[in-house]
A = this chain, B = another copy of it.
């Protein structure tokens, strides 16, 4: 087990009606709030009105930035930062999924910076601070509600880059599973795949850590158990609650305390998204199973065997390679059952430029820590995902 630092500064308020605390919790940071949200969904469900009412009851001045895209744009970050500067904002409150929270982090950082916010995301400058950030989560997926990460897309340069600073963990996040009752089947599926992929990124590691692996398995088993239930019964509280907190724990430091981040799936998906503006979960659903199939080898059979037996419940047997393959085949089956895409053509990407995607994904000699992939490997995986 390698050395690690373990700490998370975000306070989580979890459960039905915890949203009622938003007024009092927000007020502790000041009187001026920038409310950040996405397209129309929180207005349709009534969550928008509810939050506005709760904030107004505390005499909070609300400024708004709606319309954040699923792949949030650097333009939104710029716009939000300008609002913060203009209105002397005390707290940036994101109400939405990971995209909205990611945008809020960029906005809160850019509010204290004179240059262009893309400087952070292109790793040109270090952030020296951020306004306080908070969130009300409406989608179980990215884990952004309890980490410092933020992924923003720049379609001028076709880059979708992840970044974070010591100042971008939300001060608090409110997680009410009932607000996810209205999340569509497809978006629920995307969230499930995203959560699982966050776990895979640490589980498939050459760093040995028994406890870390068992915790990863606990989260994967929960998601696999409740994913189909949530799709069939969208208002099943236990299913929504278990999926929601699983997605938080999958990327809050717990799944990777003594592990490296593998990287291939997230990095390559970001490149795909930066060119085709696809849903993150769709991209991961296509890449992950083909990646597993490609990298399975004698060297890592033991790990995939463990994955098959401990996560997918495959009967152990002597032929470990066979069991390992059955595990990977379960991943294909599971994503199919969720109605998630397994081919690029399923999401309308026909004849993509494999060279370009591979080139942009593999920036150094190789990509990935568990198995080091060359550009040729990445092209191979993409070709089989066609």
What residues of chain A have their CB less than 8 Å away from a CB belonging to chain B? 1-8, 10-18, 177, 208-211, 214-215, 217-219, 221-222, 225-226, 237-238, 241-242, 245-246, 249, 254, 257-258
Q: A211 contacts B245, CB within 8 Å?
A: yes
A14 CB contacts on chain B under 8 angstroms: 3-6, 257-258
Minimal beta-carbon separation of A192 from chain B (angstroms): 14
Q: B10 contacts A7, CB within 8 Å?
A: yes
Instruction: Tell me the nearest residue of chain B to A16, going by C-beta.
Output: B3
A11 CB contacts on chain B under 8 angstroms: 5-7
Minimal beta-carbon separation of A162 from chain B (angstroms): 24
Q: B8 contacts A8, CB within 8 Å?
A: yes
Instruction: Tell me the nearest residue of chain B to A10, going by C-beta.
Output: B7
Copies of this protein in the assembly total 2
Q: How far is the CA of A209 from the CA of B8 in the complex (A)?
A: 23
Minimal beta-carbon separation of A249 from chain B (angstroms): 8
Q: How far is the CA of A238 from the CA of B6 in the complex (A)?
A: 18
Q: How far is the CA of A18 from the CA of B2 in the complex (A)?
A: 11
Minimal beta-carbon separation of A46 from chain B (angstroms): 20
9 contacts between A and B (CB under 8 A): A1-B237, A1-B242, A2-B15, A4-B12, A5-B11, A7-B12, A210-B225, A214-B217, A215-B218
User: Within the complex, which residue of B18, B211, B221, B257 is in contact with A3, where a contact is CB–CB below 8 Å?
Assistant: B18
Minimal beta-carbon separation of A135 from chain B (angstroms): 14
Interface centre among A18, A214, A221 (most CB of B within 10 A): A214
Q: A1 contacts B241, CB within 8 Å?
A: yes
Q: How far is the CA of A17 from the CA of B10 in the complex (A)?
A: 28
Q: B5 contacts A12, CB within 8 Å?
A: yes
Instruction: Tell me the nearest residue of chain B to A6, going by C-beta.
Output: B12
A249 CB contacts on chain B under 8 angstroms: 211
Q: How far is the CA of A242 from the CA of B17 in the complex (A)?
A: 37
Q: A211 contacts B6, CB within 8 Å?
A: no
Minimal beta-carbon separation of A208 from chain B (angstroms): 7
Q: How far is the CA of A237 from the CA of B210 in the complex (A)?
A: 12
Interface centre among A11, A14, A258 (most CB of B within 10 A): A14
Instruction: Tell me the nearest residue of chain B to A175, going by C-beta.
Output: B6
Q: A242 contacts B211, CB within 8 Å?
A: yes
> If A214-B219, A215-B218 touch, does A208 touch B238 (CB 8 Å cutoff)?
yes
A257 CB contacts on chain B under 8 angstroms: 14, 245
Q: How far is the CA of A15 from the CA of B12 in the complex (A)?
A: 27
User: Within the complex, which residue of B177, B208, B254 is in contact with A254, where a contact is CB–CB below 8 Å?
Assistant: B254
Minimal beta-carbon separation of A199 from chain B (angstroms): 12
A225 CB contacts on chain B under 8 angstroms: 210
Q: How far is the CA of A4 from the CA of B13 in the complex (A)?
A: 6
A10 CB contacts on chain B under 8 angstroms: 7
A211 CB contacts on chain B under 8 angstroms: 218-219, 222, 242, 245-246, 249
Q: A245 contacts B1, CB within 8 Å?
A: yes
A-B pairs, top 9 by smallest CB distance, nearest first, are A3-B15, A214-B218, A6-B12, A1-B241, A7-B11, A211-B222, A218-B218, A215-B218, A211-B242
User: Within the complex, which residue of B5, B209, B218 is in contact with A13, where a contact is CB–CB below 8 Å?
Assistant: B5
